[in-house]
Structure formats: structure tokens, C-alpha cells
Amino acid sequence: MAKDKQYRDNAQKFDRDRLHSDEEAIGIIKSLGTKKFDETVDIVVCLGVDPRKADQMIRGTVALPAGTGKDVRVAVFAQGEAATAAREAGAEFVGADDLAAEIEGGMTDFDVAIATPDMMPTVGKLGRVLGPRSLMPNPKTGTVTPDVVKAINEFKGGMVEYRTDRFANVHVPIGKASFGEEALLTNLRALIGELERVKPASSKGKYVKKVVVSTTMGPGVRIEPSAIGTTED
């Protein structure tokens, strides 16, 4: 698809081949003109892992200190008291077999799916619908839990899921174009810090190989991995 004029103009405002510090990259992102809507700021991190090997598949969640700027819609598979608690905590969709039937019918108007452990036999039947959309509840991401209220609050408060794709890339939204530079920088560093924390022992060579940040419709800005600060900076 051809790039629009604004994309081409923005791509000429900086050296796309240069590796920038994280502060420089966020500064460039903020200086570029954006669309009329509040674009998401995304980061793509290429890791030195082999996702075909189970012990090198990276997956988990990280709390972004400045939040995501997005209203997160949550679906919860629960019954009884857990279902009542989920509704009171603000989950948009709560149910058991009835919710499963809605999803089988094509309803996927939510960003995160959470389930209590006892509901997993029901949820497991939805793999062909939830799996391709990365919505399948999983204990590794905190979305299979008896404490649904905690999970709802975390995901609505800025918790995001990360995982390597088949090319060893991790693609995560770190905020909105309307965020201040410091907020975006804090979120970026929190994500990189988390990825460093979960580095597999079997990963050899350079671990964080490439980092690119961009807005939804904007050109990517490359970051020198070694020039990324910490959240304590």
C-alpha cells in the first residue's frame, strides 16, 4: 500500500538509518505530525531467541507505569461470587457458558479475556476463536486466576501482554501520541527492563538485537539497544 504524503514528509525529517538513544527517538516521535486521531505509539523489539524452542519462547505481562491511554475492555469467564465481583470491578462482559456461546457466535468486542481456573474446560473450546486473536486466557499472563478483580484492575490500569512472534519480534503498544515524552520514555524502559529480566538462560549472543518505535501511521525510528536507559534514570 502506498504511503501517504504525511508519512513521506515525516520520514524525511530524520535519518532513518541512524541508531538513536531512547530519548532522541521519543523526541522525534513527538515532533512528527500525526493524524487527526490520537495515534498509538508502538515498539517492536527483535530478540536473539529461537521461538521454535519452548525454553526460548518469551511471553508474559508488564505494567506500564504511565498506562496505555486506552480504555481496555475486559471479558471474564466466571460463575457465582467471582462473576459478581468481576461485574463490580468493571468488566464489560461476564459469564460462563452464555459468554462462550456469544464468542462462538462471533462476539470478540474485548481486549483481554480473563478466566477463573474452573472455567478453563469451557474456555478451552474457544481456542479457534480466541487463539488467533491472542485473547486466549493463560496462567503465564495472569489471565487465568481465582483473583479476577486484581487481574481486571491490572489490565485496565496499564498491564500489557508481550510475546515473541515466529520471527522473534515482540510488538507492544507503549502509549499514545498525546503522552508526554517522559511518560513514553518510562513505559519504553519498563518494557525493555522486563524483557531483559526474562531473558532465557539458553539464549546466546546478542539478546536485544533491534528496537524500533513508531506511531500507528508513522515511520519507524531506530534505537540503539545499548543506549536505552533504565526506569531509575
229 against 231, higher pLDDT? 229
User: Residue type at 93?
Assistant: F
Mean pLDDT of 155-179: 94
pLDDT at 215: 92
In a domain, 5, yes or no: no
Residues 145 and 124 reside in one and the same domain:
yes
Residues 62 and 163 in one domain: yes
Give pLDDT, residue 19: 94
User: What's the pLDDT at 2?
Assistant: 47
Is the same domain home to 50 and 28? yes
Q: What is the pLDDT of residue 15?
A: 76
**Whether residue 146 is found in the same domain as residue 180:** no
| Total domains in the fold of the chain | 2
* Residue 151 pLDDT grade (very low, low, confident, very high; cuts 50, 70, 90): very high
**CATH at 133:** 3.40.50.790
Q: Is the pLDDT of residue 186 over 90?
A: yes
Write out the residue range of the structural domain in which residue 123 sits.
Answer: 74-157
Domain membership flag for residue 102: yes
Question: What would the pLDDT profile of 27-62 be if each residue is shown by its tens digit?
Answer: 999 888 666 788 999 999 999 999 999 999 999 999
Count Cβ neighbours within 10 Å for each residue of 83-121 and write b for 16 or more, e otherwise.
bebbbebebbbbbbeebbeebeeeeeebbbbbbbeebee
Task: Give the domain-ending residue among 138, 157, 176.
Answer: 157
Does one domain contain both 111 and 141? yes
How far apart, in whole angstroms, are the C-alpha atoms of residue 133 and residue 128?
Answer: 9
> Domain for residue 3, yes or no?
no
**pLDDT score of 147:** 97
Inform me whether the pLDDT recorded for 196 exceeds 50.
Answer: yes
Q: Are residues 209 and 98 in the same domain?
A: no
**pLDDT score of 23 more than 80:** yes
- For position 207, which CATH number holds? 3.30.190.20
DSSP 186-210: HHHHHHHHHHHHT--TT--S-SEEE
Tens of pLDDT, residue by residue over 74-127, are: 999 999 999 999 999 999 999 999 999 999 999 999 999 999 999 999 999 999
Q: Which of 157, 180, 212 is the last residue of a domain?
A: 157
Find out whether 227 and 22 touch, Cβ atoms under 8 Å: yes
- Percent above pLDDT 70 for the chain: 94
C-beta of residue 204 within 8 angstroms of C-beta of residue 48: yes
82 and 58 both lie in a single domain = no
Q: State pTM to two decimals.
A: 0.81
Query: Does 149 lie in the same domain as 182?
Result: no
Least confident range of 9-13, 40-44, 89-93, 216-220: 9-13
Residue 9 in any domain: the answer is no
Choose one of 101, 123, 157: the last residue of a domain: 157
pLDDT of residue 34: 65
Q: How confident is the model at residue 17 (pLDDT cuts 50, 70, 90)?
A: confident
91 and 148 together in one domain: yes
6 is a domain residue: no
Q: Sorting pLDDT into bands at 50, 70 and 90, what band is 10?
A: confident
